[in-house]
Amino acid sequence: MRAIVINSRNRTVVEIDLVPTLDRLQQIVGGLIEPLEQGLDDEHHCYVNEEGLLDNPQHFFMLTDGHQPLAGNGIILASTEDGDEAPCRLPLEWVKERVTFMDFYAVRRWCQDHDQGESAPDQLEPNPRPQKSSRPGGFSGRS
């Protein structure tokens, strides 16, 4: 089945042939799946990692007319009238034109510009580095 994968780390949008099992969809997005429709037509949805913001994400994408930046990867499929998965019918170039890749700092600016609450920018932190501990030559083990 034709699907379009948005890989935010590699900043690529590609077509793949996919058997859309739960395990395979979760593997591609890196966790539990959540379908979103914002930024796509009425027949398509994009699966993303439902808990993508909980793992200190560094790579994001946003769809034109989408409601917010999305953490991690996405996979676009269509739906049948019965709600089953169907092959993606969107042209690859159309999707590529509608995807904007963002890093942590771009998302932070987006949150500030779109008034996502006073605490939203503070909740996002760049990928933490190990902190030196008070022990000689050691690290605290915090990540």
Tokens representing 20 are 């859309």
Q: Note whether residue 129 is domain-resident.
A: no
Q: For residues 76 and 99, give the distance between their C-alpha atoms in angstroms, rounded to a whole number.
A: 12
Question: What per-residue confidence (pLDDT) applies to 22?
Answer: 95
Q: Which domain holds residue 111?
A: 2-123
Rounded Cα distance between 14 and 25, Å, is 15
Tens digit of each residue's pLDDT (9 = 90 or more) over 40-78: 999 999 999 999 888 889 999 999 998 899 999 999 999
Q: Is residue 132 part of a domain?
A: no
Residue 138 lies in a domain: no
Split into its structural domains, the chain has a count of: 1
More confident residue, 55 or 29: 29
- Is 142 inside a domain boundary? no
Residue 136 in domain: no
Instruction: Provide the token pair at 67.
Output: 């409601």
Please determine, for residue 31, whether its predicted confidence score (pLDDT) is greater than 60: yes
pLDDT for the residue numbered 125:
56
Q: Is residue 60 part of a domain?
A: yes
Determine what percent of the chain falls in helix, strand and coil, rounding each to the nearest 5: 25, 30, 45
Pairwise CA distance, residues 110 & 103, whole Å: 11
